[in-house]
Structure 1
Amino acid sequence: MSDPVSSSQVAQSNLSASAVLGFKNRGDAEWVRLRGLQFSALPSQTIRRVYAHGIMAILVAYLYFSHIPIVWLVGWLAALVLINLRGTLFDRSLIDTDRRSVEAAEYTRQTITSVVSGMLWSVPILFFAPLGTDADMAALLVITGMLVTGAIVFYPAAPASVAASTFILGAATITHLVLSELWVLAVASTLFTITALVGSITVGRTFLLARLAESNLAEKEEVVSLLLREFEENEADWLWEVDTNRRLRSVSPRFAFALGLPQAAVEGQSLMQMITQPDCGPSDYAPSLRELAESLKARENFSNLIVNVYLNGRERWWELSGTPMRDERGRFIGFRGVGSDVTEKRESSEKIAYLARYDTLTSLPNRLQVHEALGDALRYAEKWRTRCALLMVDLDRFKAVNDSLGHMTGDKLLAQVSARLKAILGEGQMCGRLGGDEFAIVVRDASDGDKIDLISQKVIAALSEPYEVDQHTLYVGASVGSAFGPRDGDSVENLMRNADLGLYRAKDKGGGEHCRFEPALHATAEERRRLEASLRTAIHGEEFVLHYQPVVDARKETIVSFEALVRWNSPEHGFVSPGKFIPLAEDTRLIVPIGKWVLEQACLEARKWPEHVKVNVNVSPEQLLEPDFHQDVIKAMAASGLRPERLEVEVTESIFVRDAATARNSLEKIMALGCSVALDDFGTGYSSLGYLRTLRFSTIKVDRTFVQGAAQNSNESLAIINAVVAMAKSLNMTTTAEGVETAEEAELIREMGCDKIQGFYFGRPMISDEARRLFKRHPYELKVG
């Protein structure tokens, strides 16, 4: 439409008499719109006007044929024919005024035609009536009354014209009656004229409002049609419609494509038969299909219903929404809705969900599931006054396998270990991998204490059998520590810690043993006490040193950051593995001062590197639980002069298990300073998927087990890495692949889209002087090699 004023705006305006007649705001956008709606209907009403004028003119000619000269009568009829012909031709020129602007001249011309027509009809009243009889006069008044009434009823599109001709006829009639001193009829004629004028305006307003409503509806239908066309063109969604018998109708091309058949082949077919397996009856429907069938049967709205469908022998997942349709009488005529194929989305979600709850190397439940199962078992034991048990399993001599044959062989060995553990377990027992070579078995009902001894012996015997891995015959044993709940611990953490103490005792005995937790585990407690005492001394005795492992750009192979790794060389205990003293430091909360020292030293060292190189510092959950941890970060950066953008804090998924709210608050404060946060060891322990949307991590670090699995063409590892990379890109995060040890692994990771790489292939952890020499060796490219 060229008119800038929409019909919805006009419909809301107050249609006064002057607006209906066209006297108000003549020539503006609203006036043009209203006249266009009125005049576009005139061509359809012209024929009725012509018929009415012709019939009434014949009646007048019949009444006065013998009373007036024939010349006058013929002249009057000819003038009447000419003015009606002119009006008819003009009305036909107005047929497109609902699509174009109406000019003021057209309105004037149409009004003049009506005025002239009214004047011609005044001639019989003023000039013919005095020459006839009183009966002729009465008939003439009836004819003019019918003419006026017919004009109001059958010519509502031109209220201004009807009002003009009505006024002229009324004035002529009143004048004649007054001159004839027929006072009663003059008064009646005056009242009739006033009523006719009001009626013409009222009918005209009603007609105009109806036209406005039609125009509004047409515009809305046009908008809906446009939206539907746009919706149909969307590659992921389609429309569907069924009749009262749930048979498809009005099948769209996209819906037919989703069904995998031509439109003609599916039109009129049963919807449920099209999306279920052959010969599948309602009683055999999957739960989602049954829910769909029940909604259709109950004629109820449904939204975002995930339905498991079968198309051409393949399983797919659809997301459907539908609403019942009813005709103008309220009768049900079928269903209409929208749908989309969410198979790929669901599979991706399932991969991510699997990653969150399962260890991908062994396919065993991860630490999160072990926590949940143990918590459930404790609640069950407390409720029914029984006992549950936790067995901690650690492989003996596994480190020697890793050191001598490499991590790939070690990972394959762990996969076989998990298969043997699965075969041992029975009902009410669950095994999970906690990390490394440590496993946990949750026994829901441990009322019979001998049952735990039996399970432990089976585990030790099964895991001590030889393994065949890559043409190597390997021998590893297993040590088991156990604790009973709630006797040995009424919480998950306490029970795991006490089972771990039993495992320490079994290890101290040389391995291959099962030891239950006892309150007096003197040897283990003494070792931990001495190690803890040494650890406290080490904090102040400068026994710690930082090593730095390079992280490189996957494409350019240039250094983008170093990960700071703490090492402890104790005068009393010698070199202590981080895997041994870090957990002890976390248990005793000594990790807080150790972590503070690491943060300060790493920032000081990073200040000596090129400006674009970051430093990555691992932060323990214990540190994040400190309310003023962000102040430690501020002090470290202030003391070193390091810009916040050059510090990246690395956290593991375990931060989301304890006090997730406090940890999140600490991370948000760090991010507010300008530092970035990386999620380390993603997918190996706890589930943090819910926080990936709310916490703006800068980097997700892909655990080395996935990298090794992908290098061995593991479809599962490849799929998980692809899912993590895709998820990171959608959340504007980068990815770092850990544990890359060969050129082939580096190339594979590069092709899979990871942004950064870390591993022995590009550099082992090194002291600060060695790290700085890398920059001196390659001052421009800063490459590792």
Structure 2
Amino acid sequence: MTQTATNPHHETAGYTAMTRKASLSFIAVIAALFITAALALVYLCLALDERQVRHSEADAAKAMQSRLDKIETALVDYAFWEDAYEFMGERLDLAWAYDRNNIGPSLHTTYELDGVFVLGPDGRTRYGLIDGELTEVAADNWIAGDLPALLANARQGSVEDAVARAYFSVTGMPAVVSAAVIRPDSSYVEFDRLSYLVYVDVLTDTKMKAIDQAFDLAGLKASLGERPDAPEPKLTLRPELGMSLTLQWRSEELGKTLLMKFLPMLLVLGLLVAVLVGWLRGRIARAASMIDAAQQALRISEQRFRNISEASSDWIWEADAQQRLTYLSERFTQVTGLAREAWLGRPLAELLNYDTHLLASHAEPGGLAGRKPLPCSMHDSRGTQRYGQLSARAVLAGDTLEGYLGTVCDITEEIEAKARIEHISQHDALTGLANRHRLNHYLNARLNEGVSGDRPMFLLALDLDRFKPINDTLGHAAGDLVLREVANALTACTRSTNLVARLGGDEFIVAATDCRTHEQAERLCERLIEQINQPIRIGANDVSVGASIGIVAAPYDGLTAEDLLRYADIALYEAKSNGRNLYKFYEPAMNERIMERRQLEMDMRQALRRREFRLDFQPRYDAASQTIVGAEALVRWQHPSRGLLSPGVFIPLAEETGLIVELSDWVLNEACLNALCWGPELMVSVNLSPVEFQRSDLVDRVGAVLEQTGIAPSRLELEITESVMLEDAASALTTMNRLKALGIRLSMDDFGTGYSSLSYLRSYPFDGIKIDRSFIAGLDQSDSSEAIVNAIVSMGHALSLTVTAEGIETVAQLGKLTDLACDQAQGFYLGRPMAPLLFQQVLRDSNGVEPEGTLAFAGE
């Protein structure tokens, strides 16, 4: 067998030529880098100067806008001030304006206003201040500019609470002239009768110097008109009115300064590097002969591990003594998606995150290698973080460390599964917020760290208002969407140092550790309520919920998580009881009230079983004939220890606890049974709670009472307050139409106290209205009250509604109502609420109606 020998000299010559070529290429690269660096330096310096000019232009615009906003805010405060309209409108009160300093010298000292003028509707000066002193100089004589156009613009913008401004000349200097009409409120539109308030801010050298110092605009000057030939930096402001204003200042030109300093240094450095490269060329040539040996060693190493790496489920790596990778098995690419060639020669620490010092100690002979792998992590080709266990062993040649070899076992799935379990155990599945378990852990940890007056912790308990109707009408999917949007709002309003948790349903907790005072906690609550009140889009509907918040603070109110959560819940109940959509701080007295409430709730539950409630009936009369046409059923509670309780004491509690439904069913049933004894023509009126309209079974319950008692539906009237329509107008309209389909009557109670009752009368199927007693109280004493009642009666008749006046206490009031053709009347003068049997007696005495029977009723 013939074997061809390889000539080592030829190999050496080949590597020498390669080395020479490589060194020349290296020199060319270095030269290109230095040239590129020099050009880049020039470009960056010039770009720095350009950017500085643009930045200074933005600062100049910001400075002028800040000054304009300050003057405009002051002008709006004074011009749209009711006192200014009263004392500076049609009549001029100089003592109020100047002597009492309402529109006087303080405008010059506080806002640096050089001129303040009040102009009449015709534009003539009625009042003037120059430099804070009274003056007889007219505004149009002092100000050089189109002042009438400015006033017209101010009059036009007043509809939207806006002011007008322009740049004019004052004594040869540029000035900002702002104007607004003086009016009492935004509804006033008779502008021809209104005066104008004009502010003049002359841009003096002193003011420009102040702006210069505040915004670092060296040599800032202002001049009227455009300056196209002026050097930069400059800024030209072009308003709709008046002249243009040009601002000019000096630029520092930092880029050119840096260029002159660093470019010579870069050239000197280039010469030094060239000398160093020449020296390195010799070193590179001597090192070229070692390449063959290294390549041969690499082939042997690869052959040694190839079989093992292909058979293993983990991927194998090999590195030199500096932990630079020299080998990666094919399994590495399969697991990570990364190319092996891209990582060979690079440090293992760039590929994996691990403790490099700990790796060396583990890899020593007799170390922990193979028994306790090191934890490590990396990012695969898709950028996904993967976790593994790194095993390593040292490769020795005698006592010399040649490198390392080892394996990496991928445990990403196990780590992610553990993380998911941990996250699920501490977070709410719907919103992603912390759950009760994580909240308790967080509170205990925070309390164990210690809280004090300097480092308090505020706990906010939130409960959503108007959330249940969304679930009932739009479904639970819509409710879930609302909860997620609320969770996002809470997270957006709080810092990362705080914790936001959902306890379940529509209950949330915010643990605020960055609030130092009660005032800061109040501002946080205001932000939360404002954000939660924003409309939420669900399909084609915009829904809105509110939030009530109870606040407790550690260490002031408690030092345990259990106490803080309990007290926050008590404060939350107080907030909901006081009207909702507000916040309340916990007070010890709240605990006493909640205990009383719970006792009253238990008593009420027993009262329904023991039949402690009773009905009284207040007669309703025909206003003209003064004959009884029916009665209003009024529920009372004969409490065994507290005596007779009025509805105002227990009805709100019944609404909150849900007992209102059972109580209302009893009232409806008893009222209809009593009405059966009055005669076939008399009607009975029953008040409905707004809470009942939030339930879907109201119509069925009323229908069941009609069927059980056998009363004619036309004899039953349900009184409804306007708050029913305010809660959910569309749902309320549907329910009321279904009630009307039963044949009963609907009446709006307390008419006139709401802000939109007139629109409701046209849109909803009411049969009658009851004029609120507040209008009747002054009927016989005030012409305005009589006019209001007359308007309500006329409007009700125009809409074919029966008008009933309640709260009649004098014969004069009754006479007035009769003259105004009011249909029905009710009040203490005509008859107080009375027991059922006494009402039957009144019927016999008043109308001559003989009751059809006598029933025994609860409470008598």
Give the shorter-chain TM-score range: 0.3 to 0.5
Choose between structure 1 and 2 for higher RCO, CA contacts under 8 A separated by at least 6 residues.
Answer: 1
Larger Rg: 1
TM-score, reference length from structure 2: 0.35
TM-score, reference length from structure 1: 0.38
